[in-house]
């Protein structure tokens, strides 16, 4: 067997089904089965991760496998098997020396060579190389099986960690939606402590008690569809409809007489030719020439037909939903209840982003900016960092708007929702800033403001498409806590 066919163990493992067997063995683990049965979204996400791992392992073993460890011995084997028998016999001792300390075949090779020195066998080279190949192939397979087992253990550890995190997340989020559960699974690599779960549970509870915040978050999630799009006012649609078509083959009415060869519509007097043997040949000649007198019929035939037409869409059209860019005012004036509101609302928007397969970025701003990407693969770590941040410093809205506008000007942030959570105790923005915002609005980006105080600057808030105010009285807050 040529070395190129026999010693590529990556291909051997793939064709033998060992990797697929490892996948099957993992998928029937009780802990994984229980997690999959409990949540269809987790089941899909888990299966996708395992299938991706399978493809990666096959690729890794093809590209960078443990064959490299055996490459020198493989080269020596391929060289030796092509030598002339006499030359091979002369070099046999050198081969054994090169195998010493590097190959499991060394002791067997030394025994074979010592025995061959006593009697010269013309088939020695073939016999020696066949045994060598078997030892080398077995060593390669054992090494890669060990590597495969290591990869499998790493994957299992990761899966168990994600299952544990998902179980903890059930206390603070509704993970029943398949798409939402899939994205949470991607984020669930982070290990959560009791303190982490407690922090998120506290924010989730706060959001649940403050229905006004929850309603604002839900309205913000629907905003992408509630815009006019002139380019989509009229669209071409194709429907199947039952239509009637005039047809000469449908016998609804007799409308005349014509020459044809249709015996089913033959006039009676034409059949008289067949009554006389002398005229029978005339009948057949008229039939061949399509000159027999036939009734002309006409009727309406009904059939399904595709009909294309333009129709007007409703005012609210379905749009591709872009990411949320949530700018949170982290100044000292926001500490206390406004800070809780801002964190809870951002957390609610993250939940919506997960369910709608959108991204969610949070930019904390006071005298500087800190960006958190809440929906990326290690997003739970980002969420916890954001929730544990303490508000302090002054309000500087200009730089964060500049940063957000730069982001929304790129293709990745097309059709985005910018949400500013602040007390808006800040000066109005310059004319140049307002021009940049107006240009982005024309490109289907939306600007929202949530005012968390009674003293916000009205001129500043007029820049936004929608503005909500949320600042319940202390009495109202006490009533909600009961």
Mean pLDDT of 455-463: 87
How many degrees, rounded to 5, is the angle at CA 15 between CA 12 and CA 20? 110
Does the pLDDT of residue 145 top 60, yes or no?
yes
Long-range contacts, stretch 460-463, CB < 8 angstroms, 24+ apart? 460/397, 460/424, 460/426, 460/427, 460/428, 460/429, 461/424, 463/429, 463/434, 463/437
Q: Which helix (H) or strand (E) holds 376?
A: none
Domains of the chain, CATH where assigned:
1-188 (no CATH), 195-225+320-481 (3.40.50.410), 234-312 (no CATH)
DSSP 3-state of 110: helix
Structure confidence at residue 217 (pLDDT): 86
Nearest to 212 by CA among 402, 27, 340: 340
Structure confidence at residue 326 (pLDDT): 92
Does the pLDDT of residue 140 top 60, yes or no?
yes
Structure confidence at residue 238 (pLDDT): 56
Taking residue 240's Cβ as centre, other Cβ atoms within 10 Å add up to: 9
Q: How many angstroms from the chain centroid is the CA of residue 429?
A: 40
Cα–Cα dist 413/447, whole Å:
13
* Integer CA distances (angstroms), 416 to 326, 353, 441, 446, 471, in order: 10, 12, 10, 6, 26
Q: Are 203 and 217 in contact (CB under 8 A)?
A: no
Nearest to 44 by CA among 57, 35, 53: 35
Does the pLDDT of residue 316 top 50, yes or no?
no
Beta strands per DSSP E along 273-338: 292-312, 324-329
Taking residue 370's Cβ as centre, other Cβ atoms within 10 Å add up to: 14
Q: How confident is the model at residue 62 (pLDDT cuts 50, 70, 90)?
A: low
φ/ψ (deg, to 5) at 297: -120, 160
Q: Are 338 and 423 in contact (CB under 8 A)?
A: yes
Q: Which residues contact 140 (CB under 8 A, 6 or more apart)?
A: 7, 9, 66, 67, 70
Q: How confident is the model at residue 14 (pLDDT cuts 50, 70, 90)?
A: low
Q: Rounded mean pLDDT of the chain? A: 77
Q: Which helix (H) or strand (E) holds 449?
A: strand 446-451
Q: Are 340 and 481 in contact (CB under 8 A)?
A: no
The residue among 316 and 427 whose pLDDT is bigger is 427
Structure confidence at residue 476 (pLDDT): 41
pLDDT in tens, 375-410: 877 778 888 888 888 888 777 888 888 888 888 887
Structure confidence at residue 232 (pLDDT): 46
Mean pLDDT of 40-54: 83
Does the pLDDT of residue 454 top 70, yes or no?
yes
Beta strand pairing call for 292-312 and 253-260:
antiparallel
Q: How confident is the model at residue 230 (pLDDT cuts 50, 70, 90)?
A: very low
Structure confidence at residue 15 (pLDDT): 56
Share of the chain above pLDDT 70, in %: 79
Concatenated DSSP letters of 9-49: HHHHHHHHTHHHHHHHHHHT-HHHHHHHHH-HHHHHHHHHH
pLDDT in tens, 65-87: 445 567 777 778 888 888 888 78
Mean pLDDT of 316-345: 82
Which of 19-28, 105-114, 253-262, 467-476 bottoms out in mean pLDDT, i.e. has the lowest? Answer: 467-476
Does the pLDDT of residue 57 top 50, yes or no?
yes
Structure confidence at residue 55 (pLDDT): 82
Q: How confident is the model at residue 171 (pLDDT cuts 50, 70, 90)?
A: low
pTM of the predicted model as reported, rounded to 2 decimal places:
0.59
Does the pLDDT of residue 314 top 50, yes or no?
no
Query: Quick one: tokens of 109?
Result: 């090779």
φ/ψ (deg, to 5) at 173: -155, 155
pLDDT in tens, 254-265: 888 889 888 888
Cα–Cα dist 235/229, whole Å:
12
């Amino acid at each position: 067997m040529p070395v190129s066919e026999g010693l590529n163990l990556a291909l051997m493992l793939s064709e033998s089904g060992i990797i697929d067997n490892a996948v099957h063995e993992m998928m029937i683990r009780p802990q994984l089965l229980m997690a999959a049965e409990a949540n269809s979204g987790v089941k899909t996400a888990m299966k996708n991760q395992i299938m991706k791992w399978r493809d990666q392992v096959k690729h890794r073993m093809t590209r960078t496998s443990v064959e490299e460890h055996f490459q020198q011995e493989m080269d020596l084997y391929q060289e030796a098997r092509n030598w002339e028998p006499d030359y091979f016999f002369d070099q046999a001792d050198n081969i054994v020396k090169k195998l010493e300390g590097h190959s499991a075949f060394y002791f067997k090779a030394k025994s074979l060579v010592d025995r061959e020195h006593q009697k010269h066998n013309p088939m020695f080279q073939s016999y020696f190389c066949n045994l060598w190949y078997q030892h080398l192939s077995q060593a390669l397979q054992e090494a890669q099986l060990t590597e495969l087992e290591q990869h499998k253990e790493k994957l299992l550890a990761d899966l168990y960690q994600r299952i544990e995190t998902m179980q903890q997340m059930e206390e603070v989020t509704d993970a029943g939606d398949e798409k939402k559960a899939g994205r949470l699974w991607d984020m669930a690599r982070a290990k959560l402590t009791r303190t982490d779960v407690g922090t998120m549970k506290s924010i989730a509870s706060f959001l649940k008690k403050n229905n006004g915040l929850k309603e604002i978050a839900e309205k913000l999630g629907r905003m992408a569809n509630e815009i006019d799009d002139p380019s989509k006012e009229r669209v071409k649609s194709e429907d199947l409809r039952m239509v009637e078509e005039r047809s000469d083959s449908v016998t609804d009415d007799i409308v005349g007489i014509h020459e044809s060869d249709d015996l089913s519509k033959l006039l009676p007097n034409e059949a008289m030719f067949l009554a006389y043997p002398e005229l029978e040949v005339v009948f057949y000649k008229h039939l061949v020439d399509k000159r027999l007198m036939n009734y002309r019929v006409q009727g309406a035939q009904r059939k399904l037909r595709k009909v294309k037409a333009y129709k007007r869409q409703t005012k609210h059209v379905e749009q591709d939903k872009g990411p949320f860019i949530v700018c949170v005012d982290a100044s000292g004036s926001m500490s206390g209840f406004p800070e809780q509101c801002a964190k809870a609302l951002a957390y609610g928007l993250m939940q919506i982003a997960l369910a709608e397969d959108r991204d969610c970025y949070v930019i904390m701003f006071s005298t500087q900016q800190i960006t958190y990407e809440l929906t990326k693969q290690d997003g739970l770590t980002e969420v916890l960092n954001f929730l544990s941040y303490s508000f302090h410093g002054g309000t500087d809205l200009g730089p964060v708007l500049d940063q957000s506008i730069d982001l929304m000007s790129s293709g990745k942030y097309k059709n985005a929702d910018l949400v500013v959570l602040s007390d808006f105790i800040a000066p109005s923005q310059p004319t140049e800033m307002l021009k940049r915002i107006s240009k982005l609005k024309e490109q289907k980006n939306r600007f929202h403001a949530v005012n968390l105080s009674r003293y916000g600057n009205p001129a500043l808030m007029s820049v936004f498409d929608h503005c909500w105010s949320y600042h319940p009285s202390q009495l109202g807050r006490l009533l909600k806590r009961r």
